[in-house]
């Protein structure tokens, strides 16, 4: 998928009914490749990083964000789905630290004021990762610059392009359904393609990758 992203090859996403693999699962995996992939494929990430290092990519987050952006899985690259110990800020409660990860996927945050609050997936957007605002701004700006270079995007267009591209993907997923195929009945689908107020990408080659949960079909 990395080569598809950097070569602007569209990746078509199909929802698989009853497959036990959701969009949230895909996002969680791609945001934590080093943490989640070893359990699925012990040697995968060593091979991936050895490959991308030949292209000057040293940070796995660069790989993660390029894939998330190219596939339109997120409207922003800001990391609100934070690991335990990450520093965050809330508009009302101020700065705090992500504490316990609950069994339902929600996270508790211990704020510097002494308050303790819990946030589920639908409310995580209320938390701003401090690395995106107060901590290491120059390093983060360089990271986004590299991501944009891979995606052939102007840095000024990134935020709007991500939101528009994600909106298109969400719409495609809402109308696509994976139906049981009768014998000799073809699978019909429309590719999810990049979009935006000004799409800097060249016309997509007449090929794509089909992703079905953790499997990839070429």
Look at residue 120 in the predicted model and tell me its pLDDT: 77
CB 9 within 8 A of CB 194: no
Q: Please indicate whether residue 192 or residue 31 has the higher confidence score (pLDDT).
A: 31
What was the pLDDT predicted at 65? 93
pLDDT value of position 57: 94
| pLDDT band at 103; cut points 50, 70, 90 | low
Segment 6-40, tens digit of pLDDT? 999 988 877 776 667 777 788 888 888 888 888 88
Higher-confidence residue: 85 or 70?
70
| Residue entry with tokens 């069994």 | 103
Among left, alpha and beta (phi > 0; psi -120 to 50; other), residue 94 is left
Q: Specify the pLDDT at position 67.
A: 95
CB 126 within 8 A of CB 78: no
Q: How far apart are CA 68 and CA 74, in angstroms?
A: 6
Per-residue pLDDT tens over the stretch 153-188: 999 999 899 999 999 988 888 777 544 444 444 444
- The b-or-e profile of 156-175 (16+ CB within 10 A means b, else e) is ebbeebbebbbeebeebbee
State residue 123 phi and psi, 5-degree precision.
Answer: -115, 0
Please, how many CA atoms are within 13 Å of residue 35, restricted to the half-sphere of its CB?
10
What pLDDT is attached to residue 208?
Answer: 45
Consecutive H or E run containing 120: none
Q: Tell me if 211 sits within 8 A of 217, measured CB to CB.
A: yes
pTM for this entry: 0.63
Torsion of CA 13, 54, 82, 71, to 10 degrees: -20
pLDDT digits (tens, 9 = 90+) for 53-82: 999 999 898 999 999 999 999 888 876 556
Mean pLDDT of the chain: 76
Which tokens in the block code for residue 104? 């339902």
């Amino acid at each position: 998928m990395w080569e598809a992203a950097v070569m602007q090859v569209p990746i078509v996403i199909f929802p698989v009914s009853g497959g036990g693999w959701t969009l949230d699962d895909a996002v969680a995996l791609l945001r934590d490749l080093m943490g989640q992939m070893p359990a699925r494929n012990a040697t995968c990430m060593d091979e991936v990083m050895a490959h991308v290092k030949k292209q000057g990519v040293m940070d796995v987050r660069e790989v993660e964000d390029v894939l998330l952006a190219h596939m339109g899985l997120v409207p922003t690259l800001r990391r609100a789905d934070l690991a335990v110990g990450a520093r965050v800020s809330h508009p009302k409660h101020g700065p705090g630290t992500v504490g316990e990860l609950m069994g339902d996927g929600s996270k508790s945050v211990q704020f510097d004021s002494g308050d303790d609050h819990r946030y589920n997936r639908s409310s995580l957007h209320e938390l701003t990762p401090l690395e995106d605002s107060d901590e290491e701004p120059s390093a983060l700006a360089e990271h986004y610059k590299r991501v944009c270079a891979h995606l052939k995007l102007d840095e000024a267009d990134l935020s709007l392009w991500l939101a528009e591209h994600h909106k298109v993907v969400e719409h495609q997923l809402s109308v696509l359904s994976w139906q049981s195929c009768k014998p000799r009945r073809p699978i019909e689908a429309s590719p999810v393609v990049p979009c935006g107020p000004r799409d800097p990408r060249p016309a997509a080659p007449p090929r794509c990758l089909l992703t079905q949960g953790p499997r990839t079909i070429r």
